[in-house]
Amino acid sequence: MRITLLSKFVAAAALALAPLAPAQANDQAIESAFDAYFGTEVRTPRDYSPVYGSELERHIATLAEGSQGRIGVAAIDLSTGQQISILGDQRFPMASTSKIAIAATYLEMVDQGRASLTSEYPLLLPVRSQRFSTAVAPVRRGDYMAAYELIDLMITRSSNPATDALIAAVGGVDAVNDWARRAGIEDFNLTRDIATLVRDDGEFDPAVHIDLRDSSTPEAMVELLTGLYQGRWLTPTSREVIIDAMERCRTGTRRIPALMPENVTVAHKTGSLNNTSSDIGIITGPDGRSIAVAIYVTGQGTRRNREARIAAIARAIYDGYSEPRRMYASAEYGGTGS
């Protein structure tokens, strides 16, 4: 049914663009069809020079070339404010990168005296069920754990039962969305708990389809990281809880940290779902310069290839902000990173 409808969209758009050259008309017809069908725009970087203003941004665009699947990148040098964005305003599946916002929502409750880090909640363990059989996947209660332990498990090991325990503790996904809106982060939408998200994963291919559920833009996630790092929304103690856990993250060793120099600190959180891999975090060099970065990769054939893209893009961003002259004089990072 989707293929039939999409074909009709393409045909209608092609007729409207008939006066254009055939190749140009076809390209615009397909883009218009995607816009109409998916309700949002799916784009791939094409001609880098007129679109991306800085040399660094053009270089990152070549590494984020999306012919094998969409790649979204956003970064900001927290010392200078210099920003880059490659499809940074396009929605991607957050997967487990949403767990940073979930932690922040709970820690705001702690700061307001409505909860504490020693408050205990049960792990919420998924109960086996058929995909899409219920609106919310069934779970059962497991061991009770203190909130600080749940946050640590959620970020350092990406524990889903710990995450769902905290989602329940804050009052559900709507409470997390409310926190994000009050923080000024608009392009963020958490729709399902993790048990449901994982059970029903694979409904769409994120390389060619934008699903607004449980999605965010790279730019929004960089805004989230920047605000947390700069202490805009949480007390210094609560901020440190998140940053410390991100620095001890044990997942994604082949992603942002993979190609970083040994004297660089990476505080990050990974995400993985069907045909998509991501990593968001703060990269801090030995001189104290910090960079907030969000990288979302879909497609690319395999998870290893997606992770290699993330690692190459992250290193290029670090080098581009830290030593731009050396970077562009070298051919070391001239490849695609896959």
pLDDT, tens digit, 9 for 90 and up, residues 256-313: 999 999 999 999 999 999 999 999 999 999 989 999 999 999 999 999 999 999 999 9
pLDDT of 274 = 94
Q: How far is CA 268 from CA 9, 187, 242, 273, in A?
A: 41, 20, 10, 17
Q: 28 lies in a domain? A: no
pLDDT of 66 = 84
For the chain, the domain total comes to: 1
Domain residues for the domain of 215 are 48-329
Q: 33 lies in a domain? A: no
Q: 18 lies in a domain? A: no
Using 70 as the pLDDT threshold, list the residues of the chain that sit under it: 1-53, 324-338
CATH number for position 250: 3.40.710.10
- Tell me the C-alpha distance between 227 and 292, whole Å: 10
Strands 188-189, 139-146: pairing is: unpaired
| Cβ proximity of 297 and 276 under 8 Å | yes
Q: 320 lies in a domain? A: yes
pLDDT of 54 = 77
pLDDT of 58 = 86
Q: 116 lies in a domain? A: yes
Q: Decide: helix, strand or coil at residue 37.
A: helix
Q: 40 lies in a domain? A: no
pLDDT of 334 = 38
Q: 39 lies in a domain? A: no
| Cβ proximity of 292 and 282 under 8 Å | yes
